[in-house]
Amino acid sequence: MTTETWLDLRNVEAWLGDRPVLHDLNLQLKLRQSTTVLGPNGAGKSSLVKLIDRSLYPIVRADAHLRLFGSDTVNLWALRNRLGVVSSDMEQRLHPKTTVEEAVVSNFFGATRLGRDQKPSARQWEQARDLLDQLHLHSIRERCCGELSDGQRRRLLIVRALVHQPEVLVLDEPSRALDLQACHQLLAILRRLIQAGTTVVQVTHRVDTIVPEMERVLFLAQGRLVGDGSPREMLRPAELSELFNTPLNVVEAHGFRQVLPG
């Protein structure tokens, strides 16, 4: 099993407009070590995802660096072959009149719709349809994105992210707005991906969506890393109560945890 570090942050600080959103981040994430970043709303979780997908840049400092797969400089096209990101920003970019199938195959070109000069190969169409089938979207492949439910859109974004067969899949609040059935379907997909060897990083405020295959849990609060350890160490009443600043109890069953008022 490889222990290559795919994300290396040292003394990273980032701002959005005129306000700081991340402070003095020191973090290493390794391949084949699936991780959940947990924290309350406003903790800086989405800003961390933006750092990873290079839509947010850190403050330049002599004692700081951000390295992806060992490199300080990133070729964004090459990065797509190693890293897939699912975020609300990408969901908003889906054109409501684009079909599900086109939304997937267009990502071979880094787009959300096929342009006149973008002609997918037979192999690319086949790969897109195979992925749609694996995530139970094949029956709606000709429907428009604007007609999809929240759960279907979330699975579609995962299919798009997987077309390049990335080593790492980063998901920003993947269960947001999903009902119970759609959420459970999503969790089953994440479990299969991790078991098949994909490194999954889930960014969330929901303890109940942390699948048993997660090996590491990071706590993020007010733009700072405030905790790091195994799920058994981190997902306990005292630790979660401090993170969310409210009394909490934890119930565990079949590797999942549910948080109750303390």
Largest pairwise CA distance in the chain: 59
CATH number at residue 204: 3.40.50.300
CA dist., res. 80 & res. 110, Å (int): 8
Residue among 222, 247, 219, 248 at smallest CA distance from 231: 219
- Res 236: pLDDT: 98
CA dist., res. 66 & res. 27, Å (int): 10
Gyration radius of the chain over CA positions: 19
pLDDT band at 2 (very low <50, low <70, confident <90, very high): low
User: pLDDT by residue (tens digit) across 95-119?
Assistant: 999 999 999 999 999 999 999 999 9
Q: Is this prediction's pTM over 0.85? A: yes
User: pLDDT by residue (tens digit) across 62-74?
Assistant: 999 999 999 988 7
Q: How many domains is the chain built from? A: 1
Residue 17 gets the label, from left (phi > 0), alpha (psi -120 to 50) or beta, of left
Residue of higher predicted confidence among 148 and 1: 148
Measure the CA angle with vertex 229, ends 233 and 177; round to 5°: 90
Structural domain including 33 reads 5-261
User: pLDDT by residue (tens digit) across 4-52?
Assistant: 999 999 999 999 999 999 999 999 999 999 999 999 999 999 999 999 9
Residue among 37, 30, 8, 66 at smallest CA distance from 223: 37
pLDDT band at 76 (very low <50, low <70, confident <90, very high): confident
- Res 89: pLDDT: 85
- Element (DSSP H or E) covering residue 46: helix 45-52
3-state SS string over 210-256?
CCCCCCEEEEEECCEEEEEECHHHHCCHHHHHHHHCCCEEEEEECCE
pLDDT band at 75 (very low <50, low <70, confident <90, very high): confident
CA dist., res. 245 & res. 6, Å (int): 32
